[in-house]
Copies of this chain bind each other. A is one copy, B any other.
């Protein structure tokens, strides 16, 4: 229908336009992915400073998913999982350089998203979707890994984290791209004042979202907007008008600006009368980075530890779905769900069959979201570090096969992944194996993972039996992809991104000397 429309002349456009509203045309899809924002950072999830009126209203107008998870407690693998619908161990976004190590894509990483993966926007194209990513990519920064080579039609943002500023002779600052060409670098054209925390990047990302939505609306194209701002990732930043506005410092200021931006995006959809045609999903890439201390990190609410760990604080995410007229206002679903479900769910909304040549780890959530149903079977949530299955949740039970917060060396140096929390035998500083007798928690009664069930109890034995069979099935059929995050090389850093010549911002790369990346946790 949409293809037909684009072929017709203007005389038919009114008809097509009215059909679009009435008929089963696929909805626009917006995924809003926050960076290091914790489950407990939203008012509706219990943040005492209650500084997210727009997100709280979004929940009141849509559905809250309190049992929603990421696929990995770190940014790059989590984002790769979202866009492929597959666990990092299946899509290659992991390392085998050490046992149970988290890995991501710093600018010395050689690898990136494998050409064998099919990303969500590649499939959405089949139904005429135009796709844009705004903000952080993080699936590899070398040319072949960038968004426009992997299904997106447009991009405004950066390939890596906004760490810096760097001395260009040693390490380049991270480039900001507009589609295929860099338009500047962080700390150079795109300022972040690390002393004051001031940066207008969220406003730029908001404007990019606005422009894209308006443009697609005008052209009657269904769109996929992947809105991935990074203001809540250290170094945390906010625009001048938001700095000092929250009760919890710079981090809260960043949250307030993001909340405000989300409110504006939803308002725009209403103003354009496309709120009934636009499915919006809000979540975050991993738990709050509590190791960064109170000034630069958020809250994981009642959960244990945070980012980098496979405790609930590392992987339970805030999640809200909003689609007026389709999703029941103020509803709550307790279904276990994950960021990987967004792939098959988006395909289902678009009326596209998922690829049949590979295992997807996500499930189509439309029955849950649209009709408030429960899924037919209990879906497990798998918690990995590297290619090690650390823990599994099934129903209310979570079994830990390995526990590790971070190493004694790091801990003694003041790096603490669980500040203020210590559960003996659980928040271990050695990698501790429990595969013969996993620690099992009932997350309903004990969301903070503080009280392991007694191994002698019937409840333990019963839960273990059910989880074991799920794990056995999972591991029997698992074919790990080649790990993409093993090799590093200073030569691959962002020295001379496409477009640098026009700007006179090309830097000279050093000689290639690859090494096995060191992943300390």
Interface members, chain A 369-404 (any B CB < 8 Å): 396
Binding-face segment, A2-10, A219-227, A419-427: A419-427
- For residue A432, CB closer than 8 A to chain B, the reply is no
Main secondary structure of the interface of A (DSSP, over half): loop
**Contact at A445–B248, with CB atoms within 8 Å?**
yes
How many copies, total? 2
On chain A, the number of residues with a Cβ less than 8 Å from chain B's Cβ atoms is 45
- Find chain B residues with CB under 8 A from A501 CB: none
| Complex Cα–Cα for A112 and B419 (A) | 42
CB distance from A67 to the nearest CB of B (A): 7
Closest residue to A453 on the B side, CB-wise? B294
**Contact at B445–A302, with CB atoms within 8 Å?**
no
- Find chain B residues with CB under 8 A from A60 CB: 60
**Contact at B252–A444, with CB atoms within 8 Å?**
yes
Interface members, chain A 446-492 (any B CB < 8 Å): 446-451
Closest residue to A42 on the B side, CB-wise? B46
Interface members, chain A 405-453 (any B CB < 8 Å): 419-423, 442-451
**Contact at A246–B66, with CB atoms within 8 Å?**
no
- For residue A293, CB closer than 8 A to chain B, the reply is yes
- Find chain B residues with CB under 8 A from A299 CB: 302, 447-448
| Complex Cα–Cα for A352 and B444 (A) | 46
Interface members, chain A 293-333 (any B CB < 8 Å): 293-295, 299, 301-302, 304, 316, 332
With contacts A40-B302, A48-B66 known, what are 15 further pairs, Cβ within 8 A?
A40-B46, A44-B44, A45-B46, A46-B46, A46-B301, A247-B334, A247-B396, A247-B444, A294-B450, A299-B448, A301-B302, A302-B302, A304-B420, A420-B450, A421-B421
A-B contact pairs, 21 of them (CB 8 A): A40-B302, A43-B332, A45-B46, A49-B444, A50-B64, A50-B66, A50-B332, A50-B334, A60-B60, A247-B396, A247-B444, A294-B442, A294-B445, A294-B451, A295-B445, A299-B447, A301-B301, A420-B421, A420-B449, A420-B450, A421-B422
List 10 A-B pairs, minimum CB-CB distance, nearest first.
A46-B46, A420-B450, A247-B444, A294-B446, A294-B445, A248-B444, A422-B422, A249-B445, A248-B445, A420-B423
